[in-house]
A and B are shown apart, each in its own frame.
Chain A
C-alpha cells in the first residue's frame, strides 16, 4: 500500500541535514552558553549563527530575533507582553475570529485577568479580514493588532502589508502569527511593517520544541519568562541549543529551496484542487485561490460525510490527512475557522484538509484523486444527510 503523508501543516519530518547540524549539540558540544570556558563559547557561537540565519531570512536585525520553545509561546509573549507593558487600563486588542488557539486563548486570558477588551474581526467567505473592519475597530485604547499571516486550516493569506501600514500609521504595534506562512513564503518584516512575528521550526523541517520570535527594535514588550540572563534577560532559561541550531538551519534551507519549491507545490495544489472538485460531486473548496492561498494548502467540505470517518477511511488506504471536524479533536465543536467563514455546521463537520510538502509527488496526488471519490461515495451512501441533500423522501 502507498503511504501518502498530507498533513505538512500539522508537522513536517526533519530535514536530515538539519538533524546532522544539531547532533553535536546533544553530545560533545554540550556546554552551557552562560559559562566562560571555550566549550561554552562554542555553544554561544552556535546560537549567534542561528540568530543570524533567522534574521537574514526575514530581513531583520540579529538583535530582533528571540528563540522560544514554540510558535505558541511566541504568540503568548506578543499578546501578554504588549498588554502588560502598555499600562493602559482596559487595554484594547484587535485580532480575528480565525486565529490559532494560541492567540485566541491568550486573548481570552487577557480579557479575564488583565481587564483587556478584545475585538475579534470577522472574515469573508474565503477567510479574509476586511481593512475597513480593521480601521473601524481602532479605539484610543488599542495597544495591539494581531492578525495571522496565513490561516492554518484553509491557507488564506491575509493582506499583511496593508494591515502593517494601517497599524504603523496609527502607531499601534502589529503582531502576526506566521507559523504556517513562514514555512511557505518569503517574508520581509521591514517591507510589511511587521512589529512582531511568531514562527515554529517543526513546520519547516526543523525540530519540534523550538520557535522564533521577531520583535522590532525599540518595541515596548514585557518579558515572558523570568529568570537568568538568557535572550537578553527577556526569555530566561538555559537555551535549547540543538533546537536553536535546528531552527536556524531549517529556515536557511527552507528559504534556499523556496524558488523551486513554491511553484512546484502550487502546481500540485492546484491539480489536487481541480481534481477533487471534478471527481467528487458537491465538493466545496474552503479558502481563497491562487496567490492568496498558501502554496501547500487544500481544504474541502463534502456535505453528507463526517470528517473523522474520511480520515479513518483514508488512513486505511495509507493517506494521512486532517479535518476541522469536531469529532476528530478533543472538542466536539466544529472548526471555529470554517464557522467564521459562514459554513453551515454540516459543511464544517464534513471538512478535509490535505497539506502538501517536500515529499509530495505527482504520483501521490494521482493516488489521492483515485482514492478519495470512492471513500466519500461510500460514506455518503450510508448518510441520512446525503439523502436530504438529494431531496429524496425519507423512508422511501
Chain B
C-alpha cells in the first residue's frame, strides 16, 4: 500500500503538522467512526473571525493522518467563511492525490472541519450551516 501514496502523503504522515489539542478551544469537531478504522478530531482557536490556531488528533490510516495534517495547514490563517469552503478534493489535490479507496479520508477532514466551524458558529450566535453528511459505514465499511 505504501507504494500507492504520494511523497506528500508520506511526508505529512511521517511528520504531521498541527498535531495535538487546544485548551478551551473556540470550536471542536469530530468525524468518522472507530468501527471503520478512522476518527478525526479538530480543535480551533478563532480570533477576530480568523483561524489563529488549529490542531488535530486522528486515529486512522496514513491517508487519514496526512489529510488531517494537510487540511489543518490549509485553513490556518483563513477566515471562518473561507475555511468553510475547503473541499475534500482540494485536500486530496494538495496531497498530490489519494488512492481511490482512501478518498474518504479527505472527506473526513472536510467533515471534521465543518463540525468544528459549526461548533464555533453556534457558540457565537452565527448561523449553523448544513453539513453534507457522508455515510461512512455504508460507503466504505460494512459493519
Contacts and interface: CB of A to CB of B under 8 A. Distances in A.
Nearest to A387: B57
A349 B13 CA distance: 18
Interface of A is mostly: helix
B58 A384 contact: yes
Contacts of B14: 312-313, 316
B123 interface: no
B90 interface: no
Interface residues of A, number: 31
Given A332-B36, A345-B37, A396-B21, A383 B57 contact: yes
B28 A395 contact: yes
14 contacts: A304-B59, A306-B38, A309-B65, A311-B1, A312-B2, A312-B14, A326-B141, A328-B1, A332-B140, A382-B19, A383-B59, A384-B39, A385-B34, A396-B23
A309 B67 CA distance: 13
Nearest to B28: A395
Enumerate the 4 nearest inter-chain pairs by beta-carbon distance, A residue then B residue, closest first: A327-B61, A308-B61, A345-B35, A349-B37
Contacts of B22: 395
A388 to B, nearest CB: 9
Contacts of B60: 306, 309, 327
Contacts of B23: 396
B62 interface: yes
A382 B57 contact: yes
A394 B56 CA distance: 12
A346 interface: yes
B120 interface: no
Nearest to A348: B37
B143 A333 contact: yes
A328 B25 CA distance: 34
